[in-house]
């Protein structure tokens, strides 16, 4: 599906080519208006099956915790919340169909979810057409741009400019040569663009090698990367692709030649590999449980998650499920209602700190402004226990100055 995007098909064309006829007919229906009563239903389409399944299941666990806490606090004047989980199978057409079902059949008040840049844009098309608030928890640059902007959509996840930008500011030095190994779809290209946009003057790009999404073998790409003799190798992919690519880069001796960095360093993928393979790899994260020593809201989130999940700690993408739903339900409470326009106004004015320090939604594009953590994978001898995977080597504050400006994204000054 991402190949379709690569070849220039529009997201609306993409949805039309994959969603059911019944689902498509609903896109033309008028805006949904729900009675402000009854259970507050939150639709949650995520890829339970497929290569991002491990991260999606963590998102569900954290989302369930957020719902449980809201209900334990009395809900909205006694109105309880309910989470409706659906498997979008990492497919934009499937996601569009499931989202329409959630809105039309299940009467969802809000939609939160998705774990792929292509899928979230598909969900965004549906929720924009139906006038339903959507909180996206997948990285994307394009969802913030004016051409894709929806006043109903809020982007809780960070965007590539935030993560790749933070890594570039930390790891790139003047005079260095940089090479890229990139997954050939929207996410990979957005990450490379953000690295290049942020790189300081005097940093030279010496080459870029593209690989297909879900490639099982990277050995054919490694000799080309070795020949570039780069100081820094940026591996711009996600999920199992990231773990496989890093392992094979190490096997081919690239770590001895280049510092390996990734735009997003994933807890699950590090856990699925060995500390020796990932030792010294640097990347950004929206969340790491280890910040609990300095961040009270992280300690509270970790403790509640541990209690609900047999002592396990929350993961980075799992945390998005928590912060996305907590921020939405905080806005519902602030609005005193589930009315769409009232909740949008409340979210635009919301200041929240539920797991990682202060956050707020920028009004022009509804991007969540938040801290970015730059992590380095620990060597085995440094780990205190099996969960002690990373050290925080830099923390970028929640600052709109690190984002692309509203004007750069195509929004008109208000």
pLDDT in tens, 17-43: 444 444 555 555 667 778 788 999 999
In this predicted structure, the answer to whether residue 117 has a pLDDT above a threshold of 90 is no
For residue 155, give the nearest of 323, 32, 288, 298 by alpha carbon. 323
Q: What pLDDT is stored for residue 30 in this prediction?
A: 66
Q: What pLDDT is stored for residue 413 in this prediction?
A: 64
Percent over 90 (pLDDT), the chain? 78
In this predicted structure, the answer to whether residue 13 has a pLDDT above a threshold of 60 is no
- The values of phi and psi at residue 402, to 5°, are -85, -5
Tell me if residue 282 falls in helix, strand or coil. strand
Distance CA 359, CA 375 (A): 20
Tokens standing for residue 288: 């790491």
Tell me if residue 273 falls in helix, strand or coil. coil
Q: Radius of gyration of the chain from Cα atoms?
A: 21
Tell me if residue 352 falls in helix, strand or coil. strand
Contact 128, 153 (CB under 8 A): yes
Domains of the chain and CATH, by start: 40-158+292-370 (3.40.50.2300), 162-285+374-396 (3.40.50.2300)
In this predicted structure, the answer to whether residue 137 has a pLDDT above a threshold of 60 is yes
For residue 262, give the nearest of 317, 198, 203, 192 by alpha carbon. 192
Distance CA 315, CA 181 (A): 25
Q: What pLDDT is stored for residue 253 in this prediction?
A: 95
In this predicted structure, the answer to whether residue 114 has a pLDDT above a threshold of 80 is yes
Q: What is the pLDDT of residues 145-189, one digit of tens each?
A: 998 899 999 999 999 889 999 999 999 999 999 999 999 987 899
């Amino acid at each position: 599906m991402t190949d379709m995007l690569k070849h220039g098909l529009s997201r609306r064309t993409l949805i039309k080519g994959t969603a059911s006829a019944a689902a498509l007919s609903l896109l033309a229906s008028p805006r949904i208006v729900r009675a402000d009563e009854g259970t507050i239903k939150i639709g949650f389409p995520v890829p339970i099956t497929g290569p991002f399944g491990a991260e999606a299941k963590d998102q569900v666990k954290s989302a369930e915790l957020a719902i449980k806490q809201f209900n334990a606090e009395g809900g909205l004047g006694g109105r309880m919340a309910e989470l409706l989980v659906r498997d979008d199978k990492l497919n934009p057409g499937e996601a569009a169909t499931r989202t329409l079902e959630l809105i039309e059949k299940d009467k969802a008040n809000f939609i939160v979810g998705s774990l792929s840049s292509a899928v979230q844009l598909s969900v965004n098309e549906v929720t924009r057409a139906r006038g339903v608030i959507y909180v996206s928890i997948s990285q994307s640059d394009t969802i913030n741009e004016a051409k894709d902007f929806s006043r109903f959509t809020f982007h809780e996840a960070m965007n590539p400019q935030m993560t790749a930008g933070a890594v570039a500011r930390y790891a790139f030095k003047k005079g260095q040569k940089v090479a890229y190994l990139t997954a050939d779809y929207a996410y990979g290209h957005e990450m490379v663009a953000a690295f290049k946009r942020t790189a300081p003057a005097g940093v030279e790009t010496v080459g870029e090698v593209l690989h297909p999404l879900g490639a099982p073998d990277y050995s054919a790409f490694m000799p080309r990367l070795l020949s570039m003799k780069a100081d820094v190798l940026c591996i711009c992919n996600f999920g199992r692709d990231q773990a496989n690519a890093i392992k094979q880069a190490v096997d081919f001796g690239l770590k001895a030649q280049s510092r390996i960095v990734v735009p997003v360093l994933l807890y699950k993928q590090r856990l699925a590999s060995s500390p020796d393979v990932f030792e010294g790899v640097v990347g950004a994260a929206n969340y790491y449980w280890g910040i609990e020593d300095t961040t009270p809201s992280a300690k509270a989130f970790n403790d509640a998650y541990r209690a609900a999940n047999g002592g396990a700690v929350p993961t980075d993408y799992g945390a998005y499920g928590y912060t996305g739903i907590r921020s939405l339900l905080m806005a519902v409470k602030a609005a005193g209602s589930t009315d769409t326009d009232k909740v949008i106004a409340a979210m635009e004015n919301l200041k929240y700190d539920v797991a990682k320090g202060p956050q707020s939604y920028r009004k022009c594009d509804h991007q969540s402004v938040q801290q970015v953590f730059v992590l380095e994978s620990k060597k085995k001898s440094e780990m205190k226990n099996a969960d002690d995977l990373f050290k925080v080597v830099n923390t970028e504050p929640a600052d709109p100055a690190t984002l692309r400006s509203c004007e750069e994204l195509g929004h008109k000054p208000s």
